[in-house]
Amino acid sequence: RTMDFSEDGAILQAADTVRELLFWDVVSGKQIHNAASVRDVAWHSWTCGLGWPVRGVFNGSGGKAVDTEVHAVCRSRSRDLVVSGGSSGSVGGLHNYIKLFRYPCIDRATPALYGGHAASVTDIVFMASDDQIVSVGGSDSTVFVWNVTR
């Protein structure tokens, strides 16, 4: 679930397994190879873990990138928060955590960290009202519902 459409539905972006952000023209089905040509596109959602507005999702509690995997990203509908779900690496003493950031998530962004899953967080999403987040664990088969308090 790392695909997003532009607000007008004309362009699709997706992140691949080798950490490339790819773009396609929806009508023609052709890949857009010049990323600069889509740099100002407004995106309806943001679930890709790559791109300028989510540069900091790999950061830990010190605002520096840590050696962990980010499996899922979701921007709030209000476009002021972004949440990510991670692997079993330890960040701030937590394992299998979710990280909540302000959006856009800059290079030195420091997340609020929340732990609880016994396995990697494999998916994460804001509910329609942005007042709750749902995270899904991998091999622990858990679903957590988190309240968002601003």
- Return the pLDDT at 90: 58
Place of tokens 């991670």: 86
Q: What is the pTM of this model?
A: 0.89
* Tokens (6 digits) for 131: 């007042």
The 10s digit of each residue's pLDDT in 122-144 is: 999 999 999 999 999 988 889 99
What's the one-letter identity of residue 104?
A: P
The 10s digit of each residue's pLDDT in 49-70 is: 999 999 999 888 888 888 678 8
Examine the pLDDT at 92 and tell me if it is beyond 70: no
The 10s digit of each residue's pLDDT in 99-118 is: 999 999 999 999 998 988 88
* Residues comprising the chain, all counted: 150
- Return the pLDDT at 93: 57
Examine the pLDDT at 88 and tell me if it is beyond 60: no
- Return the pLDDT at 13: 97
Secondary structure class of 45 (helix, strand, coil): coil
Confidence of residue 36 (pLDDT cuts 50, 70, 90): very high
Per DSSP, the residues of 80-147 read SEEEEEE-S-EETTEES-EEEEESS--TT---EEE---SS-EEEEEE-TTSSEEEEEESTT--EEEEE
- Return the pLDDT at 19: 84
Examine the pLDDT at 91 and tell me if it is beyond 60: no
Residue 5's H or E segment, with its range, is strand 3-5
